[in-house]
Structure 1
Amino acid sequence: MKFFQIRALAASVLLAGGLAAAHAQPAQPARTAVRGTIDQVSPTSVEVTARNGTKSTIALPADVRVAAVSIAKLTDIKPDSYVGTAAVPQADGTLKALEVHVFAASLRGMGEGFRPWEGADGKKGSMTNGTVGSVVTTSGTTMKVKYKEGEKTVVVPPDVPVVYLEPGDATLMKVGAPALIFAQKGDGGALKALNVIIGKDGTIPPM
Structure 2
Amino acid sequence: MSIRLKLAISTLALTLAGTAFAQSSTDKPERIRGAIESFSGNTLQVHRRSGDTVTIQMKDSTHLNAVKAVQLSDIKPGSYVGAAATPGPDGKLVAKEVLVFPEAARGTGEGHYAWDLGANTSMTNANVDTVVQGTSGRDLKLSYKGGTNVINVPANAPVVTLIPATRDDLKAGKQVFVVAIHGKDGAYDGNFVVVEKDGVAPPM
Quote the residue 1:79 is aligned against. 77
Distance 2:38 2:109 in 1: 29
Which residue of the other structure, out of 172, 175, 179, is the alignment partner of 2:176? 179
Distance 1:80 1:40 in 2: 40
1:10 to partner: Cα distance: 9.3
1:128 aligns with 2:121: no
C-alpha distance after superposition, 1:26-60 (max 9, x if no partner): 44524322222223324522122233553222111
Distance 1:49 1:86 in 2: 23
**Which deviates further from its counterpart, 158-167 or 73-82?**
158-167
**Residues 26 and 71 from structure 1, CA distance in 2 versus in 1: closer, same or farther, beyond 3 angstroms?**
closer
Map 1:16-27 onto structure 2 (within 5 A). 26-27=24-25
* Structure of higher CA gyration radius: 1
Gaps of 5+ in 2: 1-14
1:92 to partner: Cα distance: 6.6
Aligned-partner SS, 2:108? coil
C-alpha distance after superposition, 1:51-82 (max 9, x if no partner): 35532221112111122112222112111212
Aligned-partner SS, 2:115? strand
Distance 1:53 1:90 in 2: 28
Quote the residue 2:158 is aligned against. 161
Quote the residue 1:108 is aligned against. 106
Which residue of the other structure, out of 53, 56, 81, is the alignment partner of 1:58? 56
1:181 counterpart letter in structure 2: V
Distance 1:104 1:69 in 2: 12
2:131 counterpart letter in structure 1: V
Count residues with an aligned counterpart: 188
**Residues 150 and 59 from structure 1, CA distance in 2 versus in 1: closer, same or farther, beyond 3 angstroms?**
same
Aligned-partner SS, 2:198? helix
Aligned-partner SS, 2:67? strand
Contact 2:26 2:182 in 1 (8 A): no
2:173 counterpart letter in structure 1: G
**Residues 50 and 108 from structure 1, CA distance in 2 versus in 1: closer, same or farther, beyond 3 angstroms?**
same
TM-score normalised per structure 1: 0.76
User: Structure 1 or 2: larger helix share?
Assistant: 2
Distance 1:26 1:39 in 2: 30
1:104 to partner: Cα distance: 2.6
Distance 1:10 1:130 in 2: 12
**Which deviates further from its counterpart, 150-159 or 194-203?**
150-159
**Residues 10 and 65 from structure 1, CA distance in 2 versus in 1: closer, same or farther, beyond 3 angstroms?**
closer
Distance 1:51 1:89 in 2: 23
Contact 1:179 1:196 in 2 (8 A): yes
